[in-house]
Amino acid sequence: MDIIEKNKQEMMEKKVWAVLGVTQNKEKYGYKIWKKLKDNGYEVYAINPKYEEIEGEKCYDSLKDLPVKPEVVDFVVPPAISSKYVDEANELGIEYLWFQPGTVDGETIDKSEELGMKIVFHDCVLVALDE
Give 67-122 pLDDT, tens digit per residue.
999 999 999 999 999 999 999 999 999 999 999 999 999 999 999 999 999 999 98
Q: Please tell me the distance from the alpha carbon of residue 69 to that of residue 115, in angstroms, as a whole number.
A: 18
Q: The whole model's pTM is what?
A: 0.96
State the average pLDDT over residues 35-48.
97
How far is Cα of residue 3 from the mean position of the Cα atoms in its chain? 18
Domains of the chain from N-terminus onward: 1-79+90-100 (3.40.50.720)
What pLDDT shows up at residue 43?
98
